[in-house]
Amino acid sequence: MRNRIDQFIAHLYFDTHDLPSVVAMLMDLGQATRPRYISAKEHGRDRCPFGGFQDFAEMPVGCFLFADMCRFNITYDYFGFTWIVIDASDGGSFQADAALNIIEHACHNNLMYGFAALEKEYKHRNLLSVCRSFGEVNAWLGRNINNGLPGLYWLNAISSRLMSETGISLLDLTQKLDFMSHQIIGATHFLCLYEEPQAWKKHARTIDKVCAETGGVLSMRQVMKDCGKYRNIQALSEFLSQFK
């Protein structure tokens, strides 16, 4: 197994009323990533065999699904979306080819939004860590996509509907990121920023700049800059709440 630092992570968002599309996507995955067990607990100590849609009814808020390679953390209604976070299962190794395959399958099953990246790239884009005189603040930002996209990553899948709602210009992104590839899968714009996911470090400053310049996309750089305006933990927390 590779070191945990080399693992990938993926986030998927579906319409909260479209669980059949979620199940169709899950059941169509390859053997290593197709869920085999379901549990209400993160590490699946009470896991049972996963049989499909009917199993969701027994866990009304959300659940964890476990495949040989990865784990699916599913929240059924997260600000109007079914939100799925995919990472390595205990003892598994969630790598680039598997992340790409899952994103592509999701695009064929009414995906609203999704991304995949190395965990280190995800932390760079979305984990806020500031140390001020009144204390240290650590927070994950960008999880509610009603506020806009959480960032730009190795792989990005954006539905035409969400592209329209956020006002993001594909032409603008293409001009700013001339190394980006674009294709349409179903009703989804599939954007690959760099062929090798490890190249995120090389392009980090460029992507940070584009996030800051693009309306409808979270800019961690701008959030960090604005944090300096707040002189107490309550004011800072209120400011950050709009980006969570």
Range of the domain at 170: 123-243
Same-domain pairing of 195 and 104: no
CATH code (residue 44): 3.30.310
Domains identified in the chain, total number: 2
Same-domain pairing of 168 and 77: no
Domain boundary among 73, 90, 111: 111
pLDDT digits (tens, 9 = 90+) for 191-210: 999 999 999 999 999 999 99
Rounded distance between C-alpha atoms, residue 224 and residue 29, angstroms: 38
Same-domain pairing of 67 and 144: no
pLDDT at residue 212, rounded to an integer: 95
In a domain, 94, yes or no: yes
Same-domain pairing of 11 and 107: yes
pLDDT digits (tens, 9 = 90+) for 135-172: 788 899 999 999 999 999 999 999 999 999 999 999 99
Domain boundary among 111, 141, 176: 111
pTM passes above 0.75:
yes
In a domain, 117, yes or no: no
Same-domain pairing of 93 and 127: no
Domain boundary among 57, 91, 111: 111
In a domain, 145, yes or no: yes
Same-domain pairing of 75 and 145: no
Same-domain pairing of 227 and 139: yes
Segment 216-232 mean pLDDT: 90
